[in-house]
């Protein structure tokens, strides 16, 4: 009995994942061929960006400080204290800033998308939009996709700056590494491609969060209980796709042998 329920849940999840992939294709076609609802888009950008700024920056600052504490002690033991800033900069730009910011938005914004659209679905508001000849994809989904894909890269850059600031405070106050040494190390290690890769990752993660949250909302059934289940599953699915896509993006962007220690 339990196994049958689990099999049914997996099949349902796969169907909804396929629906999300189909929705992504529809969003691309609609963006290229139809006008954008500007007011809805601006409202969603405000909800995704400014309202998520404080928690994103707070998280980034503590991540930068914790990473510096963990790394600096070992680097000083090997006489490589001058490399702390560069290592932190590479880690934040390539992985921590885009991934952690995306995780925050998946939990905060992705769940809100699924809950809001799911509630509209079970209360037949989506059907009402269609009767008024308003496409739910144009009216609900595309503004959210645009908002996430634009705001997440911006939040990622701000998180990178905040994380570096937190690391600098720890390195200078606890370990006596001067700000000039710390920042010079970051400058020598970091390349324009590292920051570009962070923006590309953030853009992809933003699209995934919006598509998954919206799709799970549109496929919600079962009343209030179904809304809760859709919200939970949407967040879990978004997190999983973020980590999987991050692996493939990192593999494509940074495969091969590197020479980060030389600033290349």
pLDDT digits (tens, 9 = 90+) for 161-193: 999 999 999 999 988 888 999 999 999 999 999
Assess if residue 4 is contained within a domain: no
Assess if residue 29 is contained within a domain: no
Distance of CA 113 to the CA centre of its chain: 14
Residues 6+ apart with CB under 8 A from 44: 143, 144, 146, 147
Question: How much is the pLDDT for 7?
Answer: 75
Distance of CA 104 to the CA centre of its chain: 7
Asked if the model's pLDDT at residue 261 lies above 50, the reply is: no
CA distance 151 to 226: 29
- Please give the angle made by the CA atoms of 13, 19 and 25, to the nearest 5 degrees: 145
Give the range of the structural domain holding residue 58, as residue numbers without chain letter.
36-251
Q: What are phi and psi of 190, to 5 degrees?
A: -80, 140
| pLDDT range class, residue 2, cuts 50, 70, 90 | low
Assess if residue 211 is contained within a domain: yes
Assess if residue 261 is contained within a domain: no
DSSP run (H or E) holding 180 = helix 179-189
- Tokens 């699924």 correspond to what residue? 114
Assess if residue 189 is contained within a domain: yes
Assess if residue 72 is contained within a domain: yes
Residues 6+ apart with CB under 8 A from 75: 81, 83, 84, 87
CA distance 78 to 100: 29
Total structural domains within the chain: 1
Assess if residue 262 is contained within a domain: no
For the question of whether the overall pTM of this predicted structure is more than 0.95, the answer is no
Assess if residue 15 is contained within a domain: no
Q: What are phi and psi of 18, to 5 degrees?
A: -65, -40
Q: To the nearest whole percent, how much of the chain has pLDDT over 90?
A: 66
CA distance 93 to 156: 9
């Amino acid at each position: 009995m339990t196994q049958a329920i689990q099999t049914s849940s997996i099949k349902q999840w796969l169907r909804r994942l396929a629906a999300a992939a189909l929705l992504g294709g529809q969003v691309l076609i609609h963006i290229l061929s139809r006008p954008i609802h500007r007011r809805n888009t601006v409202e969603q950008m405000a909800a995704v960006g400014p309202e998520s700024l404080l928690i994103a920056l707070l998280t980034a600052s503590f991540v930068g400080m914790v990473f510096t504490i963990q790394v600096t002690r070992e680097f000083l033991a090997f006489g490589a204290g001058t490399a702390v800033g560069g290592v932190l900069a590479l880690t934040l730009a390539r992985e921590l800033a885009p991934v952690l910011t995306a995780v925050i938005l998946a939990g905060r914004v992705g769940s809100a998308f699924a809950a809001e659209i799911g509630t509209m679905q079970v209360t037949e508001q989506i059907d009402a939009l269609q009767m008024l000849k308003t496409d739910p994809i144009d009216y609900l989904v595309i503004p959210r996709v645009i908002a996430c894909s634009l705001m997440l890269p911006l939040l990622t850059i701000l998180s990178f700056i905040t994380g570096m600031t937190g690391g600098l405070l720890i390195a200078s106050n606890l370990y006596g590494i001067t700000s000039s040494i710390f920042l010079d190390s970051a400058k020598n290690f970091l390349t324009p491609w590292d920051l570009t890769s962070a923006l590309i990752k953030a853009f992809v993660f933003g699209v995934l969060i919006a598509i998954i949250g919206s799709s799970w909302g549109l496929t919600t059934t079962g009343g209030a209980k179904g809304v809760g289940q859709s919200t939970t599953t949407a967040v879990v699915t978004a997190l999983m796709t973020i980590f999987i896509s991050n692996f493939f993006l990192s593999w494509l962007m940074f495969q091969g042998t590197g020479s980060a220690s030389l600033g290349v």
